[in-house]
Chain A
Amino acid sequence: MGNESYEDAIEALKKLLIEKDELKDVAAAKVKKITAELQTASSSDSKSFDPVERIKEGFVTFKKEKYETNPALYGELAKGQSPKYMVFACSDSRVCPSHVLNFHPGDAFVVRNIANMVPPFDKVKYAGVGAAIEYAVLHLKVENIVVIGHSACGGIKGLMSFPLDGNNSTDFIEDWVKICLPAKSKVLAESESSAFEDQCGRCEREAVNVSLANLLTYPFVREGVVKGTLALKGGYYDFVNGAFELWELQFGISPVHSI
């Protein structure tokens, strides 16, 4: 309804904050969120956003600037792929590994799902993940599996917020995020009194460790790690601060001691 309701709304907010000073922080956070949403939405105005035009423009640019300028690479890729890396990344629109880690075609076999989770080995449940790992390790013979978590992850926020007591409010989401329930338990045990956002930040990193441990339940992964042909790495992309953390899961047999 235009400027009138906007001014009224702002006046009402100001009046409320004069009366209830303690609400200022909450109000500031909410206004910040609204501003951000409007900013990202306005850059692709829904009235003029045509997905077909968007992908046509994207594809034509890709073909002109990448494909046609590197015929040797794309010629080889047409024959087959031999990526060194398998990457688990979140489906979040902000964390595509091609952007964040500058992967080019052929570099990385990439699985993307909610909160970049790896469930434990199961022939039936979530078999798609097992299929991807099997293909990467046994067929493509990747040398590294990298699981990359990230800041402000909606999936981890869900894990931390849902009660996960069996009364599901979603069809599939709760069932999926509870894969990393051990991460939630650990974070709650270690930092019960921390702010929710801090707990989510810790859980985002711990969930990567749960996934790394779950990777070892796949027999072909364990074999590769033992033989030293496969390494498992964890990563964390913090887009709030523009930073990246990296670590690894180490497997070793200690020296033998005669006792």
Chain B
Amino acid sequence: MVQELGIREEFMDPNRETETSYDFLDEMRHRFLKFKRQKYLPEIEKFQALAIAQSPKVMVIGCADSRVCPSYVLGFQPGEAFTIRNVANLVTPVQNGPTETNSALEFAVTTLQVENIIVMGHSNCGGIAALMSHQNHQGQHSSLVERWVMNGKAAKLRTQLASSHLSFDEQCRNCEKESIKDSVMNLITYSWIRDRVKRGEVKIHGCYYNLSDCSLEKWRLSSDKTNYGFYISDREIWS
């Protein structure tokens, strides 16, 4: 029998709850109150203004990995960055149909009218490792993870062609970077993004966070007005 409680925590019968539920409650309470004390109350006016309207200038697509929260690593404060996080920070092209990522892209670009889109990838990505180690055996059922990361197969193919002599780990590093490029190019398949990039209303950036040496490589996608193409520019590494 499944019971759905939907009861607020102050009504929970303490005799019924297990020790672990209470630990969880305590931990979340402690975490939230720390935020409230250290951030929310000291900047209450800003939070009250934000409660009425958000107008972030940036949208970030990052990985769900617990080590690479874009707000934490790139220092975004509440209100600054509309954030999408999925496995391996993948953006699929428009022709692949609806994903949770492209519905969020549409909202951010057409409703919130963000001016910058950042695709942030990272080293030691489990999703990319799964992509690189996946063998496409016929007749075998892929797991959900494998099905999803296969959206990055073009990046995998390019990586294998260029660096099959390297170790598996080194190939994964390369694939992580190639995949960011593909996700960035897939952004352009959406007409409401492409048009805005061409008009200079939206800028697209890629960045790669290496969590082994804490470095950030970043670059910009620039629009070539002569041939309507796109190219990578302004590459920098911060370490």
A residues near B (Cβ < 8 Å) are 32-33, 35-37, 39-41, 43-44, 46, 49, 51-52, 54-63, 66-68, 74, 77-78, 80-81, 83, 91-114, 117, 119, 123, 125-136, 138-139, 144, 151-152, 154-155, 170-173, 175-177, 205, 209, 212-213, 216, 231, 233-235, 239-240, 242, 244-254
Contact = CB atoms under 8 A, between A and B. Distances in A.
Given A92-B82, A99-B78, A247-B9, A131 B100 contact: no
Nearest to A102: B31
Contact of A231 (B20, B53, B111, B218): B20
Given A135-B87, A154-B111, A244-B28, A129 B100 contact: yes
Contacts of A131: 86-87, 127, 144-145, 147-149
A240 B212 CA distance: 39
Interface in B139-164: 143-145, 147-149
B65 A93 contact: no
Nearest to A129: B100
6 contacts: A58-B73, A92-B54, A93-B56, A112-B104, A127-B144, A173-B107
Contacts of B216: 55, 59
A132 B64 contact: yes
A219 to B, nearest CB: 10
B85 interface: yes
Nearest to A139: B126
Closest 7 CB pairs of A and B: A58-B75, A131-B148, A176-B103, A36-B52, A93-B56, A172-B103, A83-B66
A93 B126 contact: no
Interface in B182-233: 192, 203, 205, 207, 211-212, 214, 216, 218, 220
B83 A91 contact: yes
B205 A128 contact: no
Given A246-B9, A249-B4, A123 B144 contact: yes
A248 B21 contact: yes
Contacts of A112: 83-85, 104
A173 B108 CA distance: 11
Nearest to B75: A58
B133 interface: no
Contact of A58 (B49, B76, B214): B76
A92 B60 CA distance: 11
Given A44-B80, A55-B118, A110-B85, A78 B212 contact: yes
A51 B103 contact: no
A37 B49 CA distance: 7
B118 to A, nearest CB: 7
